[in-house]
Amino acid sequence: MDTFKAFVCLIFIAFCVNGSIAYIVNPGPMVQATKGEIWPKPKAQTIGETFYTVRPKVLKFEVVTNFTCEILEKAIKRYIRIISSTKDRRKHNRSKSRHSTSHIDTMSWQTDPFYEGNLDLVKIRLTSECEKYPSLQMDESYSLSLNDQMGIIESKSIWGILRGLESFSQMLVLTEDKMTFRVNTTEIFDEPRYPHRGLLLDTSRHYINVFTIMQILDGMTYNKLNVFHWHIVDDQSFPYQSKAFPELSNLGAYDQSLVYTQKDVVKVIEHARYRGIRVMVEFDTPGHTRSWGISHPEILTSCGGQLSGQLGPINPTVNASYEFMENLLREIVEVFPDDYVHIGGDEVGFECWESNTEIGEYMTKNSVQNYQMLEEIYIQRIVDTVHSLNASSVVWQEVFENGVRLPNGTVVQVWTGNRQSLLQQITKQGLPALLSSCWYLDHLQSGGDWKTFYGCDAADFAGTDEQKKLVFGGEACMWSEVVDNGNVLQRIFPRVSATAEKLWSPYEVKDLDDAARRLEEHTCRMKMRGLPAQPPNGAGFCLNN
């Protein structure tokens, strides 16, 4: 009988355990990675058949205009290091292989009829002075030409030069000797589709250390993302060390070793600035503030009834709340140089407000008909305060849905519900919008869920061309309930790469098979640079593992 079972298993190509048959699922073919393709895909690129070799020890970047700055100088050093380390790692891994490579003719590319010699010089043409900080209005367009045994990267802004350097570094493919690269003759004109291409990181549910944050910023650079949305505090902890209110972190952080000092904040902002990334901080109120109340219970609502003894959202009926918020916001605008401050406004539970008799009396006296209107009163004051400090606000969609009168330029971020309908409504009122609802990185599926993210586009809603221009872009969101320093990088990369391409590349770039092949290469590229990105497409390999 056992022989018969074995025979049946062979016939059905199955695996038998204890007499039961478990059919082998066809895994499908492995995704064949591209070589030297740029992620995200450029707006316009022409690739020739001829190619050059690039020798890392000889390659030079030369600024050929009168405009340069520390951002550019550091970027050149950084990309020389990236290019050299790629060669060194692959050479090291090849030398450790048990398979001999002595039979490879390491100079075979010199006999290729399309080989045109060495490319040893890349000229950088920056045609205007460097800006100090990236902004929503920054120009990230660039052109890149590889012809006549020379490269030229040109842009009107330092930020475009940074994007061009990243693209050049991605085009280099190691030759058989693992000592040199090859790169095809190329002409590129590239610019982003949207000006706001962000990644939200929550550092309250789990503290993410500064070193890991800087790795995340590096990974954002490799994907041409340009906004680090720092959701820095929440109900669970208050890890920001305030200058005006140090007691907030002294009592509200998980531990004093799990706090972002002012020096830490400067370090993150500077690391981002040198890579053309804005740091937009979020202090979410009036909800998500339980950690605030440990040191400042006077600004939160004292619940009554069955909730007696608990503290709820910020109390919008007392002057102490607004005085506190004005002082804190003044500090935030000073510490974080970006033009935008995210003030939250989402998921406000009204149960505590309902249970507080003083709030009920205030509502009756001031003809406040419901708790949405009460929230509107609070948010209106906070938005006006930010505006008075010469900054602009970003808010979650509930603020818009509750009817707050938002100043011109206030950005509404869509995170749930019918995104097409919400984008249409927000932009119809002349307000700019950001999309996040389809790019939640904490929503995990089986491998390959980046394809779901890739299928979402911020322009897919019913609206006029003018309305669609009001969509500034979007953000992928990494909430940290189930991630910490040990796994956050793998959860973000390469899944955020899908969002990055949808926000950079033209609308017409949507071929999923082509994206899968390019993302396979890009993931290996990120691994080569020391970023532990998880596999994007199931079975496969990276030679640098």
Distance CA 193, CA 482 (A): 32
* Catalytic entry in 176, 347, 351, 354: 347
Distance CA 198, CA 276 (A): 12
Which residue type, as a one-letter code, is found at position 237? S
3-class state of residue 480 by DSSP: coil
Report whether 494 contacts 519 (CB < 8 A): yes
**2, two tokens:** 């056992």
SS3 content of the chain, % helix, strand, coil (to 5): 35, 20, 45
Distance CA 425, CA 403 (A): 12
CB under 8 Å to 264, separation ≥6 — which residues? 210, 241
**Residue 509 backbone zone (phi > 0: left; psi -120 to 50: alpha; other: beta):** beta
Q: How far is CA 326 from the centre of its chain?
A: 29
The H helix count followed by the E strand count for the chain is 17, 20
* Active-site residue flag, 154: no
DSSP assignments along 339-357, one per residue: SEEEEE------HHHHH-H
End-to-end Cα spacing for the chain: 45
The alpha helices in 172-304, defined as continuous H runs, are: 210-222, 247-252, 262-273
Which residues are designated catalytic?
347
